[in-house]
């Protein structure tokens, strides 16, 4: 087993500056933000950026892991507050809205719900898939969700709902309507 060494103080500062710069750049330009610009904003060279984050995907994930984990935790909160079917729909609404409001998040979560043979296993993907799985299973036990529906399908559909709503108004005003249309077909 290899021992993980703690980061030097200067490396830790660079890492934190890169995350802050990345979050700002992704918020302004989406997931296609220039990595060179992110490095410049952080006051480091491109080599430093790539040492910490070898791919754009790794940087996106690091920038948004806290938000994705908060969305996953929200699923558990809703499960404790609402009946299972309602908790699932409310969580899908919040997840879809988050994908529109936080530029770059839709791309990050989209990569987490691609075909399993091509998907990169990420902490964000594991977190959101776990939350979806818990909600789907509870709604199926309750009898408000078809038994043949898989959690990954629900996530893909939420991604589609976010995309459809974004195409309609760019702000997500139609998410609840589209989820309502969708969930009618998911009921047993």
Q: What is the CATH number of the domain that holds 14?
A: 1.10.10.60
Q: What pLDDT shows up at residue 188?
A: 76
Half-sphere exposure of 56 (CA within 13 A, CB side): 15
Q: Which is nearest to 22 in space by CA: 48, 7, 172? A: 48
Domain count, the chain: 2
User: Encoding tokens for residue 33?
Assistant: 């933000």
At a CB cut-off of 8 Å and minimum separation 6, what does 30 contact?
103, 104, 107
Domain enclosing residue 21, as ranges: 9-54
The answer on 175 and 145 residing in a single domain is: yes
The answer on 132 and 113 residing in a single domain is: yes
The answer on 86 and 178 residing in a single domain is: yes
Instruction: Count the residues in the chain.
Output: 188
The answer on 145 and 92 residing in a single domain is: yes
The answer on 33 and 13 residing in a single domain is: yes
3 state SS for 87-120: HHHHHHHHHHHHHHHCCCHHHHHHHHCCCCCCCC
In a domain, 3, yes or no: no
- Is residue 84 over pLDDT 90? yes
The answer on 13 and 72 residing in a single domain is: no
In a domain, 2, yes or no: no
In a domain, 121, yes or no: yes
Mean pLDDT over 157-181 rounds to: 85
Mean pLDDT over 98-114 rounds to: 80
- Is residue 100 over pLDDT 50? yes
The answer on 38 and 107 residing in a single domain is: no
pLDDT, one tens digit per residue, over 107-158 is: 788 877 775 544 445 788 889 999 999 999 999 999 999 999 999 999 999 9
Q: The CATH number of the domain where 84 resides is what?
A: 1.10.357.10
Q: Which is nearest to 27 in space by CA: 79, 81, 101, 84? A: 101
pLDDT higher for 175 or 82? 82
Q: What pLDDT shows up at residue 129?
A: 92
> To which residue do tokens 């830790």 refer?
12
In a domain, 4, yes or no: no
The answer on 95 and 73 residing in a single domain is: yes
- pTM for this entry: 0.82
Q: What pLDDT shows up at residue 145?
A: 93
Chain centroid offset of residue 134 CA: 16
User: Cβ(60)–Cβ(104) under 8 Å?
Assistant: yes
């Amino acid at each position: 087993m290899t021992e993980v060494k703690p980061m030097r103080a200067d490396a830790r500062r660079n890492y934190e500056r890169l995350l802050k710069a990345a979050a700002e750049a992704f918020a302004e330009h989406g997931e296609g933000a220039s990595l060179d610009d992110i490095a410049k904003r952080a006051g480091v060279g491109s080599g430093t950026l790539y040492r910490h984050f070898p791919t754009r995907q790794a940087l996106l994930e690091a920038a948004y892991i806290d938000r994705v984990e908060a969305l996953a935790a929200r699923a558990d909160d809703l499960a404790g507050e609402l009946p299972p079917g309602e908790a699932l729909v409310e969580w899908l609404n919040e997840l879809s809205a988050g994908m529109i409001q936080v530029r770059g998040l839709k791309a990050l979560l989209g990569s987490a719900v691609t075909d399993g043979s091509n998907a990169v296993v990420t902490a964000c993907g594991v977190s959101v898939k776990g939350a979806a799985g818990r909600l789907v299973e509870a709604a199926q036990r309750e009898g408000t969700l078809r038994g043949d529906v898989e959690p990954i399908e629900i996530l893909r559909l939420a991604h589609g709902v976010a995309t459809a709503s974004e195409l309609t108004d760019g702000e997500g005003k139609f998410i609840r309507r589209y989820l309502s249309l969708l969930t009618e077909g998911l009921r047993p």
